Structure 1
Amino acid sequence: MDTAWDFFSSPLNLAEITPTDMTFDVTSPNMEHAKMYPGLIITYKVSPLFGVKLDWVTEITHVKDKEYFVDEQRFGPFAFWHHQHHFQKTEGGVSMNDILHYSIGWGPIGTVANGVMVKKKINEIFNFRYKKVEELLGKM
């Protein structure tokens, strides 16, 4: 649990578990030794679709040490983004569970865009993350 929590509580490690085609860069200053805490603002540059770089700002709103943390978008590509990361010690190691609620906005156009490409891209990102975490930390 300590290893998993230390890895996920460092904002810079998010780039390690994000597909390289998204060119994910943490732009917040002084993040080298930062650990999550409620109120932490993290800024990024990310290219979620078509190589277009976007600014993304999230806030860590809740943290319960070695159990869960929540990030919420404050500015970025989504109309709404609320992402819970839950960790639980298991007999074989650590179980990690993500709960994501999001909306891309744009009314009916957003609903179509989500059905055609956004939901698929988010699933691809999370599948990549689970595989990359297993590669870096072992099966969780």
Structure 2
Amino acid sequence: MCYRKVKTYHFKFEHNLPIPLAEAWNFFSSPLNLSKITPAKMNFEITSDFTADTKMYPGMLISYKVSPVLGIKMNWVTEITHVKDLEYFIDEQRTGPYAMWHHEHHFKEIKGGVHMTDILTYAIPYGIIGQIANAVLVEKEVKNIFAYREKEINKLFGVYRAGGY
């Protein structure tokens, strides 16, 4: 069997939230809240049949429609592979625009709030063309998405100030 090497890219994003751990967990562990922190230009739509009280669990599949590049609509399915209540969850792409997508979401209680860490590892298909696409477009878009999320999270929960809620 022949395996091709795929170049992977790694990012770590950190953000402090001025809210209790349980509130942060309840917001981020609900799949429906992802659309609240995703840029409108991505036309992000969850197509799974969830209710407002649906919470993540290992093995959960979440399907979306998203337009990450040039308004081209794509189907994307991720699986929640690991969940440790109030600590972390991991989602991995099963079908979608990436050759590989592994996203860890970590939560840690700190004085006056929660320290949230996103660790993202992904790969682009198409070999050298994918590497060029990442250098020219994808990496910038990923960083823009997380910058947008930080801004929206601050709007929803306020800006963290050390020492208290």
Deviations 1:107-129 (A, max 9, x none): 00001100000000000001111
| Deviation of 1:31 (Å) | 3.5
Output the amino acid matched with 1:62.
Answer: H
Alignment equivalent of 1:106, drawn from 126, 148, 152: 126
* Conserved? CA contact 1:4–1:137, under 8 Å: no
Identity of aligned residues (%): 56
Larger RCO (CA within 8 A; separation ≥ 6): 2
* Conserved? CA contact 1:11–1:31, under 8 Å: no
Alpha-carbon distance in structure 1 between the residues aligned to 2:51 and 2:75: 17
Q: Which runs of 5+ in 2 are unaligned?
A: 1-20, 161-165
1:2 aligns with 2:5: no
Deviations 1:58-94 (A, max 9, x none): 0000001111100000000000000000111111201
* Conserved? CA contact 2:78–2:93, under 8 Å: yes
| Deviation of 1:138 (Å) | 2.3
Alpha-carbon distance in structure 2 between the residues aligned to 1:139 and 1:71: 26
State the aligned residue count: 140
Larger Rg belongs to: 2
Paired position in structure 2 for 1:59: 79
Which SS does the other structure have where 2:89 is aligned?
strand
Q: Which runs of 5+ in 1 are unaligned?
A: none
Paired position in structure 1 for 2:17: none
1:48-127 matched pairs, under 5 angstroms: 48-127=68-147
* Conserved? CA contact 2:32–2:50, under 8 Å: no
| Deviation of 1:137 (Å) | 1.7
| Deviation of 1:30 (Å) | 3.0
Output the amino acid matched with 1:21.
Answer: K
Which SS does the other structure have where 1:50 is aligned?
coil
Superposed CA RMSD in Å reads: 0.9
Alignment equivalent of 1:11, drawn from 15, 31, 43: 31
Which SS does the other structure have where 2:108 is aligned?
strand
Q: Which has the higher helix share?
A: 1
| Deviation of 1:133 (Å) | 1.0
Q: Provide runs of 4+ in structure 1 moved above 6 Å.
A: none
Alpha-carbon distance in structure 1 between the residues aligned to 2:103 and 2:42: 19
